[in-house]
A and B are shown apart, each in its own frame.
Chain A
Amino acid sequence: MQRKHKEKKMKPTRKDEYDYLMEQIPFPIPTSPFIKISELVKDFEIGEYIVRAVDNVELLIREHEYIAIIGESGAGKTTLLHLLAGLDKPTAGAIYLSHINIIPMDYETLATYRIFNVGLVFQNYNLISSLTAVENVMFPMQLCQIPLNECESKANELLEQVGLTARAEHLPFQLSAGEQQRVAIARALALDPPIILADEPTANLDKKNAEFIGELFERFQSEGKTIVVATHDEKLIKHAHRILVMAEGKIISDKQVTEISFRDNDGETDGIDEVSKSEEVKKIDEAL
């Protein structure tokens, strides 16, 4: 007797879910501006007090743009980045990514939004404590059901790029601060997201590591990623197209350092040279 073969019902992958989400959006998708932040407000209740961390922020970010946000501690930089990443919900306002408002999305949809769009780099690295460096990098790929062998080879490739091949099997606490941050950056790149959000990625690092990370960000810029980085580090600011200055939750200054420029495949840059960018940065520093 022949056994009847049941057709195996395939579970939808995270990519399928994402594609389905995208299908719900009216076409054609306008390409510019890439991210639009409109009247964004975030309040935190601390006992009887209400602290306004982000106060009526309006911002347009174009694709491939590199934005550095500077400002004093408590100015609202981290909160703004977390709102952009969909890690928190604002009190009011909207964030549009390619004209899709991400604010009404539930936390599940936001997780899917993040995995395909955003690479997150935190000030305190936020590596999963019980996973090794390579497992941390593999994790986002595994979430997308990418075959294990591919995950492993891609993770090792990324670790090689950040110079950590030898530390692949070490747990986060066994790595130095700089190494942890490099693993976090490799993890942020695992799914090659179009947006990189980084919250003071060099704040806890020594000069050498900070320089290395500055070089990495320069490379992301050249690869055409949209980068938003909250930082005080000149090594990261010097590559930025725009510099935003935040104070008390507001954007008090939005300086265009240069036109959007990223390296073409032939390695040439179009736009204003590095020297002029540095001068703009100096002006910002003086203003602060």
Chain B
Amino acid sequence: MSMNFAIKDIVHHRLESKSILRSNITILTLFFFYLNIVRSFNFLTMPPLINFLNFTLFELFTQFNQFLLILTGILAAAILIINNHAIIEARKKDIAIMKAIGTYPSHLYGFYLSEVLIICAISMIIAWILAFGGYLILYLIFSSLIGNLAWYPERGLSFLFMASLLLVIFMFNGWEIRKIGNLSYSETKAGPMKSKIHAILKPRLRNFLRRKSLSLNTAIRNLYRKKKKVRQTLVMITLASMILFTCFFGIFVINKTGSTYVTQAQGEYVLALGNDYVLEAYNQGYTTFSNSSVDPLSTGMFLNSEYNITEINTFLMETLTEYDIQAIDSRLFTAETIIEQPGVVLQALINETTGADYQEYALVGGEDTRLVAMQGVHFDEMVQDWYYEGALLNIQNGAVIGDTLAGEIYESALVQWISYSNIEANRTYRHKINAIVFDTFNRGNSAYFLLESLQETLGRPNFTNLILVDYSAIMMEDSLFDKDLFIETITNLLHSKMGEDFNVLDLYPTFQANEQAIFENTLTQIILSMFMTFIIGFNLYQFQRGRVNDDLKDNSILYALGAKEKFIQHTIFWELIFLISLGTLLAFIGAMYLIIIFLMDNSNMPSIWVPLGTGAGIFVFFSGLSWIIARRFHISAPNQNLMSN
């Protein structure tokens, strides 16, 4: 019987049902579509093995998308609940009549809860189909144009979300129907206002309003007294603004963070000097960051004595001094299998029997192995300016490892150790990990040691097979030197002193490719954000129009009393703009707080003007929508509205 009644009621109120279905479907489609896309881009969960970028950036992208997905889910749930609330509010009179003719509360509950659940279920099914279709189209476009989008449609989470949402609606709107069933006549009559509202305005507000226009006066009184509706609208606007703010500001944060990290981890204008074999491997190490088809480094004959470039140092320094370059970064570069070594941490524990606090040392980490790029360096002469965690100074027998290595195989890297073996000498060496660096080299699977220490452990005293030179000074605007001439001079020097197998490799193109990879990912986020803006804007527009239509009777009365349409439009605009201002301000504060807490841990904050500009942009966007809503308001049949109760 409930189902029968619910279906008849939906069909009977077909106009209202259609508008609610439209609103539900758009936001749910956005959520399901986003879920599919994020999964396909591999940005929903951290992959078991990073196959491009590196651990920190993946973490950043994942956090960002998870955060957005959660917000979109909350917005979808809020919209569904508010729409259901609107259905129930509109049926208040019917509920009262049914109560009056003796309908059992349980029947009432069944009738109207079935109705909202049917509407939500239909919305979910249609939205899922639309989202899937949209995803399929996007996949086909992407695969034909770019070809790096995995076919990874979402099923489990979508259905889990649908089931949870139905449960929330069952609980929340069900509770609401029960509550309406128990309302007194006067409480029902109060409509969107509190039944015991004290309508006298506070003197300060009264004085403020005395100096303002009548349309602003009417708008503020309307908002002041219909607090329930204001709260609902504020929730909607705040959530919508928060999503858009997080979207756009997050893009700035990710882009800025990514490019800063790449610059810090690689250096912008760097030349690598060494044997062709070493140079090729070294360049490959950086290429893997932006190109998933390039394999990570494998073991090689990097320690071959023929690749030793140490003897060039003196001649090179003489040449570089002529170009105002004062330092070189000599390295020992190789690829070795390392073994994770456990460490000890002091854990705070509670005695279960006595309840007393105590501390205990615990062993963390296992003995996983991985082939990584190893480099012996002088930490104070490096061309890189790493973003790091831990201590990078005074490293004697310690080690610095890349973020992917630390994130993927270590449990608590900064208290653990790293070990490797010198097969020739049949000895194993162990180093304490001092710092974790954000590294683009070999996708962050790297380890750095003090040059002399590594030379000693690997049995290669005075051996370096790579020299890095930072030529930023030459690229400065006021520089007197030409880059090509500089490279040619160094190449000639290498050829004359070391032979034709030794060359100079400019790492700038690789740096650019890596920076471009960050930008391409950001571009995808921008396209997604534009799509989100459109859907959210549409939804908010529909919601606000619905809100204006709810006040149609009051507006018709204003008109009947002699108010012009323009006056009513001004009143509507003031109301909307007030809610937009407050909503975007709350969203700005909330989103900034959440971004700082969740996203800023590993990220760089852009200039303060970026969040302010983003907030202002959202405000302007929503204000524009409000202006359109107000301008599109017309009194079409005032007499019919005036006759309704």
Contacts and interface: CB of A to CB of B under 8 A. Distances in A.
Given A88-B639, A169-B200, A171-B197, A130 B226 contact: yes
B555 to A, nearest CB: 9
20 contacts: A85-B560, A87-B642, A88-B639, A108-B564, A112-B564, A114-B562, A124-B643, A126-B560, A127-B557, A130-B221, A131-B218, A132-B199, A139-B558, A140-B561, A140-B562, A143-B562, A171-B225, A173-B190, A173-B193, A174-B197
B191 interface: yes
A245 B619 CA distance: 58
Interface string B187-207: 001110101010110000000
Interface of B: 186, 189-191, 193, 195, 197, 199-200, 210, 214, 217-218, 221-222, 224-226, 553-554, 557-567, 635, 637-639, 642-643, 645
B554 A130 contact: yes
A170 B190 CA distance: 12
B111 to A, nearest CB: 26
Interface residues on A, range: 35 or more
A154 to B, nearest CB: 15
A111 interface: yes
A203 interface: no
A283 B60 CA distance: 88
B552 to A, nearest CB: 12
A170 B197 CA distance: 9
A88 B562 CA distance: 13
Cβ-closest 3 pairs across A and B: A115-B562, A82-B639, A130-B222
Contacts of B560: 85, 87, 114, 120, 126
Interface in A52-89: 78-79, 82, 85, 87-88
Contacts of B638: 87-88
B561 A115 contact: yes
Given A112-B562, A123-B643, 16 more contacts: A78-B643, A82-B639, A88-B639, A114-B561, A115-B562, A126-B553, A130-B554, A132-B200, A143-B561, A143-B567, A171-B193, A171-B199, A171-B225, A173-B186, A173-B189, A173-B195
B554 A129 contact: yes
Interface of A: 14, 78-79, 82, 85, 87-88, 107-108, 111-112, 114-116, 120, 122-124, 126-132, 135, 139-140, 142-143, 148, 169-171, 173-174, 187
Contact of B639 (A87, A108, A139): A87
A85 B226 CA distance: 30
Contacts of B558: 128, 139
A130 B559 contact: no
Contacts of B193: 129-130, 171, 173
Contacts of A143: 214, 561-563, 567
| Residue from A85, A111, A127 with most neighbouring chain B CB atoms (10 Å) | A111
Contact of A111 (B214, B559, B642): B559
Contact of A135 (B189, B190, B221, B567): B221
B191 to A, nearest CB: 7
| Residue from A78, A120, A139, A140 with most neighbouring chain B CB atoms (10 Å) | A139
Contacts of B214: 142-143
A170 B186 CA distance: 14
